[in-house]
């Protein structure tokens, strides 16, 4: 055989030698074979150690359907029993009094002023005598949490007792809210929270003066604050944990205090004077007495200096009925304007300012709203301020990541969101900002005159 034939056959035969370079697919197949081999060996090796690995434990339990009445009743009954058991695990008044007596008996001298202290050794002794319900509070972690700068390594008895009281109150409140959790999923729908607050009204002495005919409006006013701030995505439900974590429930339950000051009532959204104020404003704006507000009626809100452009956006974006706003939508509007420093309020207003739905404000958006401010200034006989100056001031205040765009997060991070939004939507707010230095000077002069007298 001549060498040409040998070479032709050699080229036609695939290379199977040890030095042959494997293709990418062959490498993947080999890798998978090795993985399967070793995984099978590992799984087989553990086979005799624990038979539980053969099955996946159940982790999902379907909620009963509406027509499964028996299953629903069973679930409701089991939840009620569970909550009752949890309630019995809490310290009652007698047990709390006994705890205070034990703490006072085991205080460690010397006292700091009038404040009794206790060291860790005595702390553990009290824990042993207080009973099983108190065991969770007498841990090294709790002691360390309350330990501050005492040179003897002690904690304040009053601080510890307040800590226990706060924990007990939180658990009691959580159980109370859970009773209204119809779905049993750890959240409350709007109707659930309405029922909770409606049944809470008779237990709040500060609301004794409310007429029963006003209850429904009061409940709507109170519930709206929870959902405006705790349900930013408007899902129609809020977690019980979020309700407990925020201060709103504290404000609401503050109305149990029969001697609550007038100043505290005025600043508390849930007080009777505050609810009557908001509802009274709504009725005063409703000139045609149809129970709804038109754009013209809403324009008289506050100082009646909001721009038509902004009001147009309110009625474009917010829920309306035949072009008019109901009380619930009005409450969102009021909460946003009265709390402009809060992220939820800024999110509400930002959505109205973002006319192009781009998720940011650019020069076009700012100019679109500020032109309306300039027009109002002309109507009131004032010289319009240059938009370029205002635009530069806004960008200087916010300092956005992108020098040409202002995002919602930029507004929140700058702590100037309330000022920026006021400049763009309200002539009176813009005038106050523009003349802030003169107003401060006048305040100082007035204060000096009062001091002289």
In 57-186, which residue ranges form alpha helices assigned H by DSSP?
Answer: 69-88, 93-105, 120-130, 140-146, 157-178
pLDDT at 51: 64
16 token code pair: 């199977």
pTM above 0.85, yes or no: no
Quick count: other Cβ atoms within 10 Å of Cβ 176?
A: 15
Q: How far is CA 54 from CA 51, 58, 104, in A?
A: 6, 13, 57
Q: Residue 102's pLDDT band (boundaries 50, 70, 90)?
A: very high
Evaluate the CA torsion angle 286, 292, 294, 298 in order and state its sign. positive
pLDDT at 436: 80
More confident residue, 60 or 129: 129
Q: Distance between CA 310 and CA 305 in Å, rounded?
A: 11
3-state secondary structure of 386: coil
| pLDDT of residue 16 exceeding 70 | no
* Structural domains of the chain in order of their starting residue, each with its CATH number: 89-169 (1.10.238), 183-276 (1.10.238.220), 307-439 (1.10.238.10)
Q: Which residues contact 333 (CB under 8 A, 6 or more apart)?
A: 298, 301, 314, 318, 325
**What would the pLDDT profile of 49-58 be if each residue is shown by its tens digit?**
566 666 778 8
Mean pLDDT, rounded, for 179-206: 93
pLDDT at 236: 93
3-state secondary structure of 293: strand
More confident residue, 19 or 269: 269
| pLDDT of residue 75 exceeding 80 | yes
**What would the pLDDT profile of 408-447 be if each residue is shown by its tens digit?**
999 999 999 999 999 999 999 999 998 887 665 555 555 5
Q: Distance between CA 442 and CA 447 in Å, rounded?
A: 9
Peptide bond into 110 cis (omega under 30): yes
**What would the pLDDT profile of 107-137 be if each residue is shown by its tens digit?**
998 888 888 999 999 999 999 999 999 999 9
Mean pLDDT, rounded, for 350-374: 95
In 299-358, which residue ranges form alpha helices assigned H by DSSP?
Answer: 308-317, 327-338, 343-353
Q: Residue 363's pLDDT band (boundaries 50, 70, 90)?
A: very high
């Amino acid at each position: 055989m001549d060498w040409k034939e040998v070479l032709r056959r050699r080229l036609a035969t695939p290379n199977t030698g040890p030095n042959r370079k494997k293709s990418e697919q062959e490498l993947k197949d080999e890798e998978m074979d090795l993985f399967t081999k070793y995984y099978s060996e590992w799984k087989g090796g553990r086979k005799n150690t624990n038979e539980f690995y053969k099955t996946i434990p159940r982790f999902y339990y379907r909620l009963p359907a509406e027509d499964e009445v028996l299953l629903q009743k069973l679930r409701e009954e089991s939840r009620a029993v569970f909550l009752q058991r949890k309630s019995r695990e809490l310290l009652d008044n007698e047990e709390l009094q006994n705890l205070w007596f034990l703490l006072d008996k085991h205080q460690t001298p010397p006292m700091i002023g009038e404040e009794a202290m206790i060291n860790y050794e005595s702390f553990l002794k009290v824990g042993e005598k207080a009973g099983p319900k108190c065991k969770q509070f007498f841990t090294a972690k709790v002691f360390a949490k309350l330990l501050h700068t005492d040179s003897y390594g002690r904690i304040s008895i009053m601080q510890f007792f307040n800590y226990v009281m706060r924990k007990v109150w939180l658990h009691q409140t959580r159980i109370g809210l859970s009773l209204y959790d119809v779905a049993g999923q750890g959240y409350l729908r709007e109707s659930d929270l309405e029922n909770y607050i409606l049944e809470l009204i008779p237990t709040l002495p500060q609301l004794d003066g409310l007429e029963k005919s006003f209850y429904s409006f009061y409940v709507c006013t109170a519930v709206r604050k929870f959902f405006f701030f705790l349900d930013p995505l408007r899902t129609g439900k809020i977690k019980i944990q979020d309700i407990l974590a925020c201060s709103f429930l504290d404000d609401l339950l503050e109305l149990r205090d029969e001697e609550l000051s007038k100043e505290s009532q005025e600043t508390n959204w849930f007080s009777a004077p505050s609810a009557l104020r908001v509802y009274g404003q709504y009725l005063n704006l409703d000139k045609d007495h149809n129970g709804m507000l038109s754009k013209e009626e809403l324009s008289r809100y506050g100082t009646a200096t909001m721009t038509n452009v902004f009001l147009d956006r309110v009625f474009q974006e917010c829920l309306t009925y035949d072009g008019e706003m109901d009380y619930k939508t009005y409450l969102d509007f009021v909460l946003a304007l009265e709390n402009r420093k809060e992220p939820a309020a800024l999110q509400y207003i930002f959505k109205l300012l973002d006319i192009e739905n781009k998720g940011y404000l650019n020069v076009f958006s700012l100019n679109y709203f500020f032109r309306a401010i300039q027009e109002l200034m002309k109507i009131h006989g004032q010289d319009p301020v240059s938009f370029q100056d205002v635009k530069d001031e806004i960008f200087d205040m916010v300092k956005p990541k992108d020098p040409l765009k202002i995002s919602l997060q930029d507004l929140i991070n700058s702590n100037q969101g309330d000022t920026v939004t006021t400049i763009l939507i309200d002539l009176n707010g813009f005038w106050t900002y523009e003349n802030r230095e003169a107003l401060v000077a006048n305040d100082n002069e007035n204060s000096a005159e009062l001091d002289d007298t």
